[in-house]
């Protein structure tokens, strides 16, 4: 497996999605309605499905040539009343997340930890918590804090499909 091609494909799909350049739709999985983002470009196919809400989860699937990979995630934003105590909104949290992902690109949500230095009230962290070679899976956690208080968490599982 070429992690370089997978990194590039996952990043492109995510950045294009946050940048509004992918095709968005609603899909049904079982009896659940999910939002979806889809991109096909050359030998890259990227598909992301997630449950809308303050918390939930989703799954990204990617195919680059004959390589396939998945990235699953779950978590979200703390409750609205807590956000109000901090004087921020869910939109503020998601805007910070989008800005960070667009700026960090291949430095986060992948195969290495990422802790960019922040000069504001906001901070971002992506930590690899566990990695296995015998069954190639990575467990990671993404955290956003505002003035030292956690306001967003996503847990990730990354794994090739073989």
pLDDT digits (tens, 9 = 90+) for 78-120: 999 999 999 999 999 999 999 999 999 999 999 999 998 888 9
Please give the Cα distance from 140 to 126 (Å, whole number).
7
Give the residue among 109, 102, 116, 97 at the shortest CA–CA distance from 10. 109
**DSSP β-ladder status, 55-64 and 44-50:** antiparallel
> How would residue 3 be classed by pLDDT, with cut points 50, 70 and 90?
confident
Confidence check: pLDDT of 1 > 80: no
State residue 79 phi and psi, 5-degree precision: -65, 150
Span 119-136, average pLDDT:
94
Under 8 Å CB-to-CB from 79, ≥6 apart: which residues? 54
pLDDT at 154: 97
Q: What is the dihedral of CA 77, 80, 82, 84, to 10 degrees?
A: 120
The structural domains of the chain, with segments of one domain joined by +, span 3-161
- Element at 104 (helix H, strand E): helix 90-104
Write down the pLDDT at residue 117: 85
Tens-place pLDDT, residues 34-81: 999 999 999 999 999 999 899 999 999 999 999 999 999 999 999 999
State pTM to two decimals: 0.92
Question: How much is the pLDDT for 18?
Answer: 82
């Amino acid at each position: 497996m070429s992690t370089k091609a997978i990194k590039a494909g996952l990043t492109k799909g995510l950045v294009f999605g946050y940048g509004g350049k992918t095709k968005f739709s609603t899909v049904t999985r079982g009896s659940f309605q999910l939002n979806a983002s889809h991109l096909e470009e050359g030998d890259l196919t990227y598909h992301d499905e997630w449950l809308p809400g303050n918390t939930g989860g989703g799954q990204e699937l990617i195919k680059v040539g004959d390589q396939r990979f998945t990235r699953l995630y779950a978590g979200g934003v703390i409750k609205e009343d807590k956000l109000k105590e901090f004087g921020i909104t869910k939109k503020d949290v998601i805007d910070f997340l989008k800005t960070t992902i667009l700026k960090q690109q291949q430095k986060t949500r992948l195969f290495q930890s990422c802790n960019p230095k922040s000069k504001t009230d906001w901070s971002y962290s992506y930590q690899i918590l566990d990695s296995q070679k015998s069954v190639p899976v990575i467990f990671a956690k993404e955290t956003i804090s505002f003035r030292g208080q956690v306001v967003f968490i996503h847990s990730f599982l990354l794994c090739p499909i073989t």
